[in-house]
Amino acid sequence: MIRRTPVHSAVPISADAAAAMVHSGMSIDYGVALSQPDVFDAALARRVPQLTGLTLRSCLSLRPRAVVEADPMGARVLNLSWHFSGWDRQKGDSGLCHHAPLHLGEVPDYYRRFIDPMDMVIIKTCPVDAAGYFNFGPTNAWHRAVIERARLVIVEVTQGLPYVFGEANGVHCSEVDYVIAGDDAPTVELKNPAAGEVDRAVAQRIVNEVEDGACLQIGIGGMPNAVCTSLLDSGVRDLGIHTEMMVDGLIDLYQAGRITGARKQLDPGKVTFTFAVGSQRLYDAIDRNGDMLCCPVDYTNAPHIIMRNDKVISINNTTQIDLQGQAASESDGRRHISGTGGQLQFVRGAYESKGGKSFICLASTYEKKGVRKSRIVLDLTPGNIVTTPRSDVMYVVTEYGMVNLKGKSVPERVVALISLAHPDFREGLERQAHANRMLPRSGRLSAT
């Protein structure tokens, strides 16, 4: 660890003065999601024409980053992202954003062991509290690990963030070099799309597997959130939450009294997460709420910690799965879409949990240029990244059914997965499987 001594204790400074401290060749960390700075970002963008060789690290940008927009040719700023948002993906398509592969729960260790100390870390926080801490708000992630080794620490304070309780969810003023006054703009909202018929069908199949006292991890998207809606209509009680991302659907369950955490072995009675993104209603619900516990990501996402709760239910999306069970959830060929995130870590943690279950869910088809295509395929699209290996996949769910791949041979997997495909594609998939010697000559196997 680099032992830093602040210039003073959190000296107030203008955004332009802070940006003037940036020199060519420096590395800068903007933090994660709602913690990314805005006033400093605009100030630094004005300096970009004078600079070269900047490296910018961030994750899940929820607003366009001005410093990247100021370098439309990508000649001055190397923009690296741990997980793509829609804007990051757009920049990735233009060669202006590059993904860093990861397990999200390992990132604190990357900063402590493998990444050179950042020249500057600039994170948006709540104003300093009575104890002298700048609260990270709804985004803990790996901010502590970056700050521990950064050469210069700056916070951009705003009234716009909710104040969220949690383990190490803040930085003391004695560790901060400079403080910038933010714009106090409302927290960015990210609303989930409305659930469709397919989402609801998949959700109901999963809900049938959820028992009283289960501990939930819900990923992003309409389909996982549809599970929360279905749970509201079910009789399931005493649910717990230990998740990476806090989303609106989980708040619905919490406010309906379905989330008590009473049966959790780890953090009983608490809603445990590492970052929250959603509607203003979510931010209001977690603000100064003693039931909430916003923790570092190496706590929320580590399989050996996840497994300490019983009946862990892990629910995540994928975009394509092959007939052997490889789930590709983060790319479309070589085009990067999102990231591994915590999917594989929660799949593994749920499996190791007593009574735990992991679900990989997907719609059976999608449309591309007006042509309907199957998401269940013989071979993954060339270049597609495997997020969850076939050896880790447990339950797979589409609108046509649910199968458990654990313990199944390749022929058994083939039959099981074909049964989840849209009926229009099943015969073709079976022919392909026979042609590639994935099915026995002796006859068809049962899908169960």
Residue 220 confidence (pLDDT): 78
Cβ 124 vs Cβ 34: under 8 Å: yes
Mean confidence (pLDDT) of the chain: 95
Whether residues 204 and 276 fall in one domain? yes
E-assigned strand segments in 228-311: 240-242, 245-246, 271-273, 275-276, 292-294
Q: Which two tokens stand for residue 154?
A: 């700056």
E-assigned strand segments in 312-408: 312-317, 320-322, 327-328, 331-332, 335-336, 357-361, 365-368, 371-374, 376-377, 395-398, 401-404
Residue 13 confidence (pLDDT): 97
Evaluate whether residue 380 is within a structural domain.
Answer: yes
Nearest Cα neighbor of 129 from 103, 89, 167, 159 is 159
User: Is 244 among the catalytic positions?
Assistant: yes
Evaluate whether residue 192 is within a structural domain.
Answer: no
Domain end position, chosen among 130, 157, 181: 181
Residue 9 confidence (pLDDT): 77
Which of the residues 148, 156, 175, 244 is marked catalytic?
A: 244
Whether residues 213 and 160 fall in one domain? no
Q: Give me the CATH number covering residue 427.
A: 3.40.1080.20
pLDDT in tens, 70-90: 999 999 999 999 999 999 999
59 membership: H or E segment, kind and range: strand 54-59
Residue 1 confidence (pLDDT): 46
Residue with tokens 């929660």: 346
Cα–Cα distance measured from residue 255 to residue 370, given in angstroms and rounded to the nearest whole number: 41
Radius of gyration over every alpha carbon of the chain, rounded to an integer in angstroms: 23
Is 70 exceeded by the pLDDT of residue 6? no
Region 16-43: mean pLDDT is 98
Domain end position, chosen among 115, 147, 181: 181
Whether residues 177 and 226 fall in one domain? no
Q: Classify burial at 439, counting beta carbons within 10 Å of its beta carbon; exposed 0-12, middle 13-18, buried 19 or more.
A: buried
Write the DSSP symbol of residue 441.
T
Whether residues 120 and 256 fall in one domain? no
Number of domains in the chain: 2
Whether residues 86 and 175 fall in one domain? yes
Give me the phi and psi of 37, to 5 degrees please.
-75, 155
pLDDT in tens, 108-161: 999 999 999 999 999 999 999 999 999 999 999 999 999 999 999 999 999 999
Residue with tokens 């609303």: 191
Nearest Cα neighbor of 343 from 364, 329, 357 is 329
**What range does the domain containing 25 cover?**
11-181
- Whole-structure pTM value: 0.95
Evaluate whether residue 189 is within a structural domain.
Answer: no
pLDDT in tens, 179-189: 999 999 999 99
Q: Give me the CATH number covering residue 174.
A: 3.40.1080.10
Whether residues 344 and 406 fall in one domain? yes
Residue 444 confidence (pLDDT): 56
Confidence of residue 8 (pLDDT cuts 50, 70, 90): low
pLDDT in tens, 273-330: 999 999 999 999 999 999 999 999 999 999 999 999 999 999 999 999 999 999 999 9
With a pLDDT cut of 90, the percent of the chain lying above it is 92
Evaluate whether residue 446 is within a structural domain.
Answer: no
Q: What is the dihedral of CA 178, 184, 185, 187, to 10 degrees?
A: 80
Give the Cβ contact number of residue 402 at 10 Å: 18
Cβ 268 vs Cβ 239: under 8 Å: no
Whether residues 404 and 324 fall in one domain? yes
Q: Which residues pair with 246 in a beta bridge?
A: 276
Q: Classify burial at 74, counting beta carbons within 10 Å of its beta carbon; exposed 0-12, middle 13-18, buried 19 or more.
A: middle
